[in-house]
Amino acid sequence: MNDLLPQDAHLWELFENTAQSVVQAYGFQQIRTPIVEETRLFARAIGAVTDIVEKEMYSFTDSMNGDQLTLRPEGTAGVVRSVIEHNLVYEGPKRLWYKGQMFRHERPQRGRYRQFHQFGCEAVGFTGPDVDAEMIMMCRRLWDDLGLDKIRLELNSIGDASERAAHRVELIKYFEAHADQLDAEAQRRLHSNPLRILDTKNPAMQELVTNAPKLLDYLGEASLAHFNGVQKILNHNNIPFKINPRLVRGLDYYNRTVFEWVTDELGAQGTVCAGGRYDPLIETFGGKPTPAVGFAMGIERLVELMKTAGEPAPGNQCDVYLVHQGEAAQLQAFVLGERLRDAGLDVVMHCAAPTGAGSFKSQMKKADGSGASFAVIIGEDEVANHTANVKAMRDEAGESQQSTVPFDGVVDFIVDHITDGGEEHHHFHVHDENCKH
Ligand code: ATP
Ligand code: MG
């Protein structure tokens, strides 16, 4: 479980803000569900014979009343519970998104943590392949907006329950005929969840699983039509993908469309986003039959990928750094700071230590380190003359340009110079963006 430190925070914010505005552009609305749910919710929703439920859940007994509780290992189960509990699809289908911490007791390694974060979407109440394609295109747009071009799409259909049952019989026969090549985990899975054997990461079993009976060959007409429908929309919109017949999901409740976005840039943990349809789940939970499709992306892995793609310059801590000397100047600086913030600027005010604010020189060093575009300096003279000294910190010529500005004109002066362009005014623009949404 990791701390998120300030030096990485701007990447997380960039990811989360971009993801949020992309999915909002497709009509998705946020949902927040509790981090703790009843254990049986996950056991049922995810399926008993899965890595997560078998060995990865943080479960505990509530010492106050004996309730069996679990820290959520994924987001879909909670969203589905909430959709049913609040009858969210009463008025029709809903497009939902969430983000937050997930917990899985796994062996920690690169790209795999015990507390991690997912950003996910669930489209609930949609039957057709159009929403599947829409979700995939939405991911594509997010990668584009983040400047991530080394992510590829793998697609498959795992059909419906009856098709999987027919395939399963043949799959078990096949693996039984090659029992000597199965590792311990595969042997354990052989009769409980043989489909998951196809997902093995054991290099020694790759040839065996490549030649195994393919679920795609067992799809009936309706499943095939759905799968073709997804592909048609993707092709029409020039979204490249590879059909991976061995792609299955770790969770039991998926049917038909499954997809993963994968990168080679992150080593073994290369799946940055995984999704698929789970039409049967909501009915299983006592809701009205409600088809649904969703995906979840791992934020840690995507932030890692953003770093390999060339870290954008960290956002300035502020637009303006306020330097002051003496009690009267400090009071003026407070007034000015509020006015600048009223105008949408980010302002850091120099903190007076118990012994005073320190020399101008040491304050200017702090101003420089803050990354501010402007330092505003107020000393005794400025207080007496009702002025302030405004210094452009990121002057192109490298020269320090200093102007004495009437106190009441400082905000306009800075806003004019910042919107004139020519310099990097990262912060101000970020503000603009936020206003737009
Ligand atoms: P994996 O094959 O990597 O174990 P999974 O099938 O368990 O993945 P999902 O449950 O589909 O993963 O979760 C969706 C995404 O969440 C993953 O593709 C990955 O990006 C991220 N993720 C899953 N588990 C972790 C973890 N322990 N730490 C960090 N990210 C994770
Ligand atoms: Mg896993």
Instruction: List pLDDT tens digits, range 36-52.
Output: 999 999 988 887 777 88
CA–CA distances in Å: residue 79 to residues 76, 84, 240, 255, 370:
5, 9, 30, 18, 41
Q: What is the pLDDT of residue 437?
A: 32
- The answer on pLDDT for 434 being more than 50 is no
Structure tokens at 429: 């623009």
Ligand 1 atom nearest to 74, measured from its CA? 10
More confident residue, 421 or 8: 8
Query: Using CA atoms, how far apart are residues 283 and 260, in angstroms rounded to an integer?
Result: 25
More confident residue, 248 or 79: 79
Cβ of 74 less than 6 Å from ligand 1 = yes
Query: Using CA atoms, how far apart are residues 321 and 352, in angstroms rounded to an integer?
Result: 13
Q: Please tell me the residue having the least CA distance from ligand 1 atom 6.
A: 250
Ligand approaching nearest to the C-alpha of 199: 1
CA–CA distances in Å: residue 102 to residues 58, 75, 120, 255:
10, 8, 12, 23
Q: What is the pLDDT of residue 15?
A: 97
> Which residues share a beta bridge with 37?
70
**φ and ψ at residue 174, rounded to 5 degrees:** -60, -50
Residue 64: pLDDT band (50, 70, 90) is: very high
Q: Please tell me the residue having the least CA distance from ligand 1 atom 9.
A: 274
Q: What is the pLDDT of residue 432?
A: 39
- The CB density around residue 72, as the number of other CB atoms within 10 Å, is 23
Q: Kindly write down the DSSP assignment for every residue of 187-248, as one continuous string.
A: HHHTTT-GGGGGG---GGGHHHHHTSPPGGGG--HHHHHHHHHHHHHHHHTT---EE-TT--
- The answer on pLDDT for 294 being more than 50 is yes
Cα of 413 vs centre of ligand 1, distance in Å, is 50
121: nearest Cα among 141, 145, 105: 141
What's the whole-number mean pLDDT along residues 390-409? 83
Least confident of 137-146, 258-267, 421-430: 421-430
> CA 373, 375, 376 angle in degrees (round to 5)?
135
350: nearest Cα among 342, 359, 341: 359
Cβ of 72 less than 6 Å from ligand 1 = no
Q: Is 221 exposed, middle or buried (0-12, 13-18, 19+ CB in 10 A)?
A: exposed
11: nearest Cα among 121, 146, 149, 145: 146
362: nearest Cα among 347, 374, 377: 377
Least confident of 150-154, 260-264, 415-419: 415-419
Residue 425: pLDDT band (50, 70, 90) is: very low
Please report, in range form, the residues annotated as the binding site for L-histidine: 74-76, 104, 118, 122, 249, 253-254
- The answer on pLDDT for 422 being more than 60 is no
**CB-based contacts of 152, cutoff 8 Å, min separation 6:** 240, 241, 242, 261, 262, 263
CA–CA distances in Å: residue 299 to residues 110, 114, 192, 251:
13, 13, 31, 19
Confirm if 407 and 387 have CB atoms less than 8 A apart: yes
Kindly report the average pLDDT of the chain as a whole number.
90
Cα of 52 vs centre of ligand 2, distance in Å, is 7
What's the whole-number mean pLDDT along residues 289-300? 97
Ligand 1 atom nearest to 272, measured from its CA? 20
More confident residue, 192 or 299: 299
pLDDT one-digit tens code per residue, 345-380: 999 999 877 777 788 888 988 898 888 999 999 999
User: To 10 degrees, what angle do helices 327-342 and 410-419 make?
Assistant: 50
Helix (H, G, I), strand (E, B) or coil at 306: helix
Helix (H, G, I), strand (E, B) or coil at 15: helix
Q: Please tell me the residue having the least CA distance from ligand 1 atom 11.
A: 274
Cβ of 116 less than 6 Å from ligand 1 = yes
Cα of 103 vs centre of ligand 1, distance in Å, is 11
Give the position of tokens 């200017």.
364
What's the whole-number mean pLDDT along residues 330-345? 95
What's the whole-number mean pLDDT along residues 284-296? 93
Residue 248: pLDDT band (50, 70, 90) is: confident
389: nearest Cα among 380, 398, 397: 380
Q: What is the pLDDT of residue 397?
A: 58
- Do strands 320-324 and 347-349 pair parallel, antiparallel, or not at all (unpaired)? parallel
Helix (H, G, I), strand (E, B) or coil at 71: strand
Q: Which domains does the chain have, with CATH numbers?
A: 6-159+219-308 (3.30.930.10), 320-420 (3.40.50.800)
What's the whole-number mean pLDDT along residues 171-180? 93
Q: What is the pLDDT of residue 426?
A: 43
Q: What is the pLDDT of residue 312?
A: 60
> Which residues share a beta bridge with 322?
349, 376
Q: What is the pLDDT of residue 44?
A: 86
Q: Strands, E, within 53-132: which ranges?
A: 58-61, 68-71, 94-103, 115-124
- The answer on pLDDT for 28 being more than 50 is yes
Q: String of b and e for 314-350 (b: at least 16 CB within 10 Å)?
A: ebbebbbbbbbbbeebbebbeebbeebeebebbbbbb
Least confident of 29-33, 85-89, 391-395: 391-395
CA–CA distances in Å: residue 416 to residues 40, 335, 372, 423, 432:
59, 20, 16, 12, 15
Q: What is the DSSP letter of 107?
A: -
User: To 10 degrees, what angle do helices 129-146 and 6-24 make?
Assistant: 140
Q: Please tell me the residue having the least CA distance from ligand 1 atom 8.
A: 271
Structure tokens at 330: 């400090």
**CB-based contacts of 411, cutoff 8 Å, min separation 6:** 336, 339, 340, 342, 343
Ligand 1 atom nearest to 273, measured from its CA? 18
Give percent of the chain above pLDDT 70: 92
Cα of 106 vs centre of ligand 2, distance in Å, is 8
Residue 310: pLDDT band (50, 70, 90) is: confident
CA torsion angle 245 265 200 51 (round to 10): -110
Q: What is the pLDDT of residue 296?
A: 97
Query: Using CA atoms, how far apart are residues 199 and 51, in angstroms rounded to an integer?
Result: 12
> CA 244, 247, 252 angle in degrees (round to 5)?
155
Ligand approaching nearest to the C-alpha of 271: 1
What's the whole-number mean pLDDT along residues 82-108? 95
- The answer on pLDDT for 259 being more than 90 is yes
Cβ of 278 less than 6 Å from ligand 1 = no
More confident residue, 82 or 394: 82
Structure tokens at 276: 């698929």
